[in-house]
Structure 1
Amino acid sequence: MKKILVTGANGQLGSEIKELAGNYPDFDFVFTDIADFPLDKEETIITNFNQLKPAIVINCAAYTAVDKAEQDVAVADAINHLAIATLATLCEQNGTKLVHVSTDYVFDGTSPMAYKEDALPNPKSVYGVTKLAGELACATNCPDSIIIRTAWVYSEFGNNFVKTMLRLMTERESISVVNDQVGSPTYAGDLAQVILTILDSGKWESGVYHYSNEGEISWFDFAKDIKEIAGKTCEVNGIPASSYPTPAERPAFSLLDKTKIKAVYGIVVPDYKVSLKKMMVKL
């Protein structure tokens, strides 16, 4: 039985992997989070890894407070970059397979078309810079690793855009949502399934992959879909990102090209609205 270490297990993606773990009786899952497997201390990572001796690591842990990271640079770098360097080194030394989850924020958002895996990264925020550094450390220290970039993640667990919109639509008569940032949402339940499908396939092709749901929408479009599915009456107005300044710059365009993951692993990617309805039914 293969032991799989899942870090960041209480986050959105880790929680969704937990939900699906029972479907994979051949895997022995060990779910850890910041309390029992902190990633900001190198010696703790080494001690915990050597105790657990996993066959596979799925790293879902990250410093994801995008705006806070602009001030909290050292901690963001410790978790998103230095910890990954240590984990990747340990995986390489022990013959452990590593799946590392990254982000659309490694790009600057100026592309005229969906980003392919080999597009040139150019992060515009501390979060993006530290996540890119983590990717590079992962690929350098453990060349056989799989890196999956994703975007606009939401789920029934944790804090996310969908849950925030539902709350605001209940509390207010009207809300304003940015209409000039374009991408495609990712239901964490779908991404969790993709990762487990890859691990269960018996086929391991290292490298960078992109995954999000199908569709090309703005946050404003996303909010309108949430409103429609939930049957809310709140008015949703579109505004430019310039009207809603944030400490960290967001990519204006973060659509990810999923051709590679479909071709290599036969992944069927659901339309974002299908997955959104599925998640909202669970809520």
Structure 2
Amino acid sequence: MRIAVTGQAGQVVTSLVERGALTGHEVIAIGRLQLDLADPVSVMRALKVAAPDVIVSAAAYTAVDKAESERDLAHAVNGKGAGAVAQAARALGVPLVHVSTDYVFDGMADRPYGEGDPTGPTGVYGASKLAGEQAVLATHGENSAIVRVAWVYSPFGANFVKTMLRLAGDRDEVSVVADQIGNPTSALEIADGILRIATNLLADSSPALRGVFHMTARGEASWADFAEAIFAASAARGGPSASVRRIGTADYPTPATRPANSRLDCGRIARVHGIALPEWHRSLDTVIARLIAGVN
């Protein structure tokens, strides 16, 4: 299977390239020099040259706080850009897997969100990602799977796990928000799930395999819980560790509002695509081992 994925250095893209090589799939990462999501002409040209069997739309504007002051850019990339990728997939006659986020919800529910729950993003980033979902469904919905993920980390790029380890290297205590909960999810596991979805879409034209899906690791945690698990796993391998001071969201103000509840119900993707990501502690252990060993 030949997969073209938008982006080059992101966590999901890098994980897809690695997992593709391990499973015998050719994954072509197309960076901004060849494909600019704000330029639909470049999107079509780059994807046509790649001649893929499947397209994965993973590139995005992800600066959650900065998006509050760069609304037009965020919507150009995450909204119109996603639509341009969908248009290219439709023109090429290939399936599309589009990566989205838990930020499309307001985070006020008292249970994990299902795919059919009402959306209601509270910030520009979430609104731009929701616009991207809508553009994909309107343009190529008959042959697309939208995959919402959350709390992504990996051995690659910038993420919460690497930030915690860096902070633990120069301080004994780290303050971490304890009143936001979600499903910490390894990009390596997300990549495995995307490869499974891509394979299913190529093999079966059933509408049931298309549409919106939630895909996160099993189990939940607050950011503070997550940090404590990171430090415990790191300490077990002789890496940096620190104690966690639990604080509230109000104690750590940010330009963009974070969802208090980012938990996603992944029952549909398990039933339809046969995908159930591992429990998050197990995946975290794998990533920590690589980071402590300097493997990335």
- Give the TM-score category using the shorter length: over 0.9
Q: Aligned residue for 1:280?
A: 288
Alignment of 1:228 with 2:238, yes or no, is no
CA distance in 2, matches of 1:182, 1:134: 25
Q: Aligned residue for 2:144?
A: 145
> Which of 239, 247, 254 lines up with 1:246 in the alignment?
254
Q: Aligned residue for 1:213?
A: 217
CA distance in 1, matches of 2:32, 2:123: 24
Q: 1:171 is paired with a residue of what secondary structure? A: coil
* Residue type at the aligned position of 1:51: V
Question: How far 1:139 moved relative to its partner?
Answer: 0.5
CA distance in 1, matches of 2:93, 2:80: 20
* Residue type at the aligned position of 2:57: N
CA contact 2:30–2:46 (8 Å) conserved in 1:
no
Instruction: Compare 200-209 and 168-177 and name the one that shifted more.
Output: 200-209
Q: Aligned residue for 2:125?
A: 127
C-alpha deviations, 1:33-66, integer Å up to 9, x for none? 1222221212211222333332211011010010
Q: Which runs of 5+ in 1 are unaligned?
A: none
C-alpha deviations, 1:214-257, integer Å up to 9, x for none? 11210000001111111145221000000100000000001000
Any runs of at least 4 consecutive aligned residues in structure 1 with deviations exceeding 6 A, and if so which? none
Alignment of 1:5-154 (within 5 A): 5-25=4-24, 27-143=25-141, 144-154=143-153
Question: How far 1:23 moved relative to its partner?
Answer: 3.2
CA distance in 1, matches of 2:170, 2:46: 44
Q: Aligned residue for 1:255?
A: 263
C-alpha deviations, 1:183-228, integer Å up to 9, x for none? 1111000000011122234245111000111112100000011111
Alignment of 1:171 with 2:175, yes or no, is no
Q: 2:81 is paired with a residue of what secondary structure? A: helix
CA distance in 2, matches of 1:21, 1:233: 33
Q: Which runs of 5+ in 2 are unaligned?
A: 292-296
CA distance in 2, matches of 1:174, 1:182: 21
CA distance in 1, matches of 2:241, 2:47: 50
Q: RMSD of the TM alignment (CA)?
A: 1.3
Q: 1:158 is paired with a residue of what secondary structure? A: coil
CA distance in 1, matches of 2:265, 2:281: 18
TM-score normalised by the chain length of structure 1: 0.96
Distance 1:28 1:277, change over 3 A: closer
CA distance in 2, matches of 1:81, 1:114: 25
C-alpha deviations, 1:67-106, integer Å up to 9, x for none? 0111111111111010111111221232111000000000
* Residue type at the aligned position of 2:2: K
TM-score normalised by the chain length of structure 2: 0.92
CA distance in 2, matches of 1:153, 1:276: 11
CA distance in 1, matches of 2:67, 2:289: 33
Count residues in correspondence: 281
Q: 1:209 is paired with a residue of what secondary structure? A: strand
> Which of 249, 269, 272 lines up with 1:264 in the alignment?
272
CA contact 2:43–2:88 (8 Å) conserved in 1:
no
* Residue type at the aligned position of 1:31: A
Distance 1:173 1:146, change over 3 A: same
Instruction: Compare 114-123 and 5-14 and name the one that shifted more.
Output: 5-14
CA contact 2:34–2:42 (8 Å) conserved in 1:
no
CA contact 1:9–1:18 (8 Å) conserved in 2:
no
CA distance in 2, matches of 1:42, 1:90: 9
Q: 2:33 is paired with a residue of what secondary structure? A: coil
C-alpha deviations, 1:114-172, integer Å up to 9, x for none? 10011100000100000000000001100121000000000000000000000001111
